[in-house]
Amino acid sequence: MASIWESMFKDKKELWGFEPSPSTVLIKDFFIEKGIKNILIPGIGYGRNAQIFIENDIKVTGIEISKTAIELASNHFGSELFIHHGSATNMPFDKVQYDGIFCYALIHLLEPSEREKLIQDCYNQLAPNGYMVFVVVSKAAPMYGAGNFISKDQYEVQKGLRLYFYDKTAIVSEFGKAGLIEITEINEGLPFYIVKCQKSE
Q: What is the mean pLDDT of residues 8-21?
A: 62
Buried b (16+ CB within 10 A) or exposed e, 149-179: eeeebbbebeeeebbbbbeeebbeebbeebb
Paired sense of beta strands 154-158 and 98-104, if any:
unpaired
| Mean of per-residue pLDDT scores for the chain | 92
Position 6, amino acid: E
| 69 Cβ contact partners less than 8 Å away, ≥ 6 residues apart | 5, 9, 44, 45, 46
Task: Residue 151: give the domain boundaries.
Answer: 2-198
Q: Would you state the pLDDT for residue 17?
A: 75
Query: What does 135-175 look like in DSSP terms, one character per residue?
Result: EEEBTTSTTTT-SEEEETTEEEEETTEEEEPB-HHHHHHHH
In tens, the pLDDT along 100-148 reads 999 999 999 999 999 999 999 999 999 999 999 999 999 999 999 999 9
In tens, the pLDDT along 31-47 reads 999 999 999 999 999 99
Instruction: Assign residue 85 the CATH number of its domain.
Output: 3.40.50.150
Please state the length of the chain: 201
Angle at 86 between CA 152 and CA 161, to 5 degrees: 30
Q: Would you state the pLDDT for residue 15?
A: 56
Q: What is the mean pLDDT of residues 5-32?
A: 74
| Residue 93 clears pLDDT 90, i.e. is over it | yes
**Sheet of 59-64: strands edge to edge?**
82-85, 59-64, 38-42, 98-104, 126-137, 191-198, 180-187
**Sheet of 154-158: strands edge to edge?**
148-151, 154-158, 161-164
| Residue 80 clears pLDDT 50, i.e. is over it | yes
Total domain count, the chain: 1
| Residue 33: half-sphere exposure toward Cβ, Cα within 13 Å | 7
Model confidence at 19, pLDDT cuts 50, 70, 90, reads confident
Q: What is the mean pLDDT of residues 54-82?
A: 94
